[in-house]
Amino acid sequence: MSKLNQLNYEVMISEEEIGQILDTVAAKINQDYADVDNLLLVGLLKGSVVVMSDLARRLTGDVHFDFMTASSYHGGTESSGDVKIVMDLANSIRGRHVMLVEDIIDTGRTLSKVRELLLSREPASLKICTFLDKPSRRVVDVPVDYVGREIPDEFVIGYGLDYAESYRQLPYIAKVNPA
């Protein structure tokens, strides 16, 4: 039996809705960055890979990619509050227009720490884009410039989001139902 069949979940945001959300977010980014060359998208691994890839294909300007790994979940379903930078950027961001791309913002702890670190590196600008936002769970206030969709306090999987490193490949967002 596959792991997919062992977890009780229901679709919250369909594949079609994901496309519509990304189209809307990309249109706003394209408008805001119309005069910017070489926007640097910084993805927080691993969850942001799917979102960032699909978003980048909708952007009209030249974009570059870099990645970081930061974690506060450590394999569970709740943020531990202990944020660790596991992998840092490969290149300098000094003087660059940077957009931090997230799959989901929950407590804000991880994002706040990463944002603080990136701002200390003197980018020309730093904006944050998230596909999903759970404002009801926010512990640390973080300014978010682009939000795909707000969702209630549910544990979700799919479209880059995982449970113990599984389910990222699902083409939709699903709410996990307690057993």
Whether 62 is catalytic: no
Could you identify the residue written with the tokens 């202990």?
Answer: 82
Enclosing H/E stretch for 21: helix 15-32
Q: What is the three-class DSSP state of 50? A: helix
- The CA distance from 173 to 103, in Å, is 11
How far is Cα 100 from Cα 115, in angstroms, rounded to an integer?
A: 8
Residue of 23, 106, 141, 145 marked catalytic: 106
| Calpha distance 52→129 (Å, rounded) | 9
Residues 6+ apart with CB under 8 A from 123: 93, 94, 95, 96, 97, 98
In contact, 114 and 144? CB cutoff 8 Å: no
Q: What do you get for the CA distance between the two ends of the chain, in Å?
A: 17
Q: Comparing C-alpha atoms, which of 91, 105, 111 is closest to residue 40?
A: 91
Active site residues: 106
